[in-house]
Amino acid sequence: MTPITPNTLAQFLRRYHFPGGRIRAVKVARRAATGVTVEFRLAVREALRDLGTTPKPVRLTVRLSGVEEYRFQMRPSQPKVKIADARVSHLNGLFYLNLDAWGLEPSEQPQVFDYRASEVFAAGRELAWDVK
């Protein structure tokens, strides 16, 4: 898995297009040595690099390690597997990831309370990704 640092986060977010993608699986694991790990298996598209090309679909795995908080709660009116929007930020020493981003304008910088209001979010000390 390729680790993401606060400095490489923007580059990672430009590389993949999350809205319209699908959540294939979510795995929560608790290990004595490393704590809680949350792994999201997603089907997303690569971002457009050249005009006239179609973005390739990819199977992206995003893993948060050292998870301190998470929430998986689906409201009845929301789609169950489709990603409406996704946000990833590094706030207060933790990587926050959510896959619904409801109530946020695209130009707004999300805050911790925005992530906590999300239906699908996790916050951890380390973030890594892999494409299969």
What integer pLDDT is reported at residue 123 of this predicted model? 93
Between these two residues, 115 and 126, which has the higher pLDDT value?
A: 126
What integer pLDDT is reported at residue 72 of this predicted model? 83
Distance, CA of 16 to CA of 61 (rounded, Å): 12
What integer pLDDT is reported at residue 105 of this predicted model? 64
- What's 82's DSSP letter? B
Q: For residue 55, how many C-alpha atoms fall within 13 Å in the half-sphere facing its CB?
A: 18
Number of domains in the chain: 1
What integer pLDDT is reported at residue 104 of this predicted model? 60
Q: What is the pTM of this model?
A: 0.83
Find tokens 């911790």 and name the residue: 112
With 0-12 / 13-18 / 19 or more C-beta atoms within 10 angstroms meaning exposed / middle / buried, residue 107 is exposed
Domain limits for position 88 = 2-131
Helix ranges (H only) for 29-116 are 112-116
- What's 50's DSSP letter? S
* Residues forming a β-bridge with 70: 122
Helix ranges (H only) for 1-132 are 9-15, 112-116
Beta-strand runs (E) in 1-132: 2-4, 16-31, 35-46, 57-72, 87-91, 94-98, 120-131
Per residue in 28-70, pLDDT (tens digit) is: 999 877 789 999 999 999 987 666 677 889 999 999 999 999 8
How many residues belong to the chain?
A: 132
What integer pLDDT is reported at residue 77 of this predicted model? 67
pLDDT higher than 70, residue 5: yes
What integer pLDDT is reported at residue 47 of this predicted model? 83
pLDDT higher than 80, residue 107: no
Between these two residues, 101 and 6, which has the higher pLDDT value?
A: 6
Per residue in 63-102, pLDDT (tens digit) is: 999 999 988 877 676 656 788 788 888 998 999 998 876 6
How much is the CA Rg of the chain, to the nearest whole Å? Answer: 14
